[in-house]
Structures are given as C-alpha cells and as structure tokens.
Structure 1
Amino acid sequence: MPRIRATGYSIPERRTEAGTVIRTMLKLRAIPDRRPALIDHYREHRVLAASAPYGCLSGELAVDPNNDQAAFVTSRWPSAAAYEDWLSSPVRDGIMRGLQELLDPSHPPEIQILDVIDEVSTEESS
C-alpha cells in the first residue's frame, strides 16, 4: 500500500488484510480560543456527512472537556482503501484548506488507523 499524503499530515505505509474494517482516530489541536470555530467548520461543511459517499460507515466529532484546544474525529471505514479514497478526495482537500487556519501549527494533526478485530453495537440500523 503506498504512502498517503493528505493535507495536514501523512499516513505511513501499513499492512492490512483486504476487506478489514478500520477505525480512524484523528486528534486535532485548535489554536487557543478557536475550538468553537473548528467545531463550527465541521458542522457548516458537514465533514462527516461528506465522507459517507467515500465509504465512511460512521463518524463522530468529540471534544475533551478538560482541554479547550483538543478535538477528536473517529470514523469507521469498510477498508483502508475506502479511507484512502477519502484522504485523496478533492472534497476533503477543500474542507481541510479552510480548517488549517484554525489548527495550532505547533501541534500537527495526529492520526491512528486501527484494524477492527471484534465489535458489538446495540444501535439499531436505520
């Protein structure tokens, strides 16, 4: 799998079995006092919904109540290939360009990609 360069960070080459569901965890650190604007950007641009056509199965934007700069985006993808499609999409690039001005340049975004090996959900599908 090739190295992926996405606006704001790069993803190291990784090995995974084809068809493995993955969970991504993105940690963002806003410029002091700019986290509300970061949240507004995610909502106004419907970032989580924008990733659905690329295969995102679910996603959440969460904040740390004890750190007024931290925000986390977790997403579930049917495969690493689907996530790669999102990372290289022009839709995402446009969204990230607007987000860059809200991020603390001394703390670049951090991404973790995890292979899901077991799961349970009590939520009913729509």
Structure 2
Amino acid sequence: MTLLTVLSLHVPHDRRDDIVNHYLAADILRVSGAVSAKLCVDPNDPGAVVVIAEWPDPSAYEAWQAAPERDEFSRRILAIAGNDVTATTDALHLVAST
C-alpha cells in the first residue's frame, strides 16, 4: 500500500533559506528513494519547511529511515539550524488519488 509522509520542520526564520538550499544541493529528495517528493515552505511562517513524500510501501520508507545518507543529512540540517529544529512526521496510507 502506498505511503505518504509529511515531514514538518520548524527552524529559525533566518535559517529557512539555508535549509531549503541544503535540500536542493544534496538532492536528497531524489536520493531518498521516494516515488515522488515535494519540498514546500509556508509563506505565512518563515520558519516552516515541509516535505511531502510518496513511498511505494511502508518498507521503502523504513529503509530510508535506516539509511546512513539520511542520518548524515539530518545532522547537517541540525548544524545549519544551530540545533534549533522542531520536527514532526505523519505517515498516511493513500486510499485514493486523481
């Protein structure tokens, strides 16, 4: 069953662009192995960064969670944000799509 994940990060306002640039430079959305992934920012909250990813199944997402590349990427995000990151993840089973 297809899995959608929504990663919501909140970082210092003045670090958001640096976080976005790191996502782009590291090409992490492609490297993750997700079927598709979207990097989003909230125009009303300059500290918000959201990643919405589609995974073919929960095991693909679990593999990404265990990947050394993910750990290294996450450590770099923390460093860029001065260790001031709040993160939440929601995992949803996709039941319909157009």
Instruction: Give the structure-1-normalised TM-score.
Output: 0.73
% identity of equivalent residues: 30
Task: Report how far residue 31 of structure 1 moved.
Answer: 1.6
More strand by percentage? 2
Match of 1:51 among 32, 35, 59: 32
Specify whether residues 103 and 24 from structure 1 end up closer, same or farther in structure 2 by C-alpha distance, changes over 3 A only: farther
Number of residue pairs matched by the alignment: 97
Unaligned runs of 5+ in 2: none
Specify whether residues 79 and 103 from structure 1 end up closer, same or farther in structure 2 by C-alpha distance, changes over 3 A only: farther
Greater RCO (CA < 8 Å, at least 6 residues apart):
2
Task: Report how far residue 30 of structure 1 moved.
Answer: 1.2
Task: Report how far residue 108 of structure 1 moved.
Answer: 2.1
Specify whether residues 68 and 34 from structure 1 end up closer, same or farther in structure 2 by C-alpha distance, changes over 3 A only: same
Specify whether residues 104 and 30 from structure 1 end up closer, same or farther in structure 2 by C-alpha distance, changes over 3 A only: farther
SS at match of 1:119: coil
Tell me which residue corresponds to 2:55: 77
Compute the RMSD of aligned alpha carbons: 1.3
Work out whether residues 28 and 103 of structure 1, in 8 Å CA contact, stay in contact via their aligned partners in 2: no
Instruction: Give the structure-2-normalised TM-score.
Output: 0.93
Unaligned runs of 5+ in 1: 1-19, 121-126
Moved >4 Å (runs of 4+): none
Work out whether residues 31 and 104 of structure 1, in 8 Å CA contact, stay in contact via their aligned partners in 2: no
SS at match of 2:43: coil
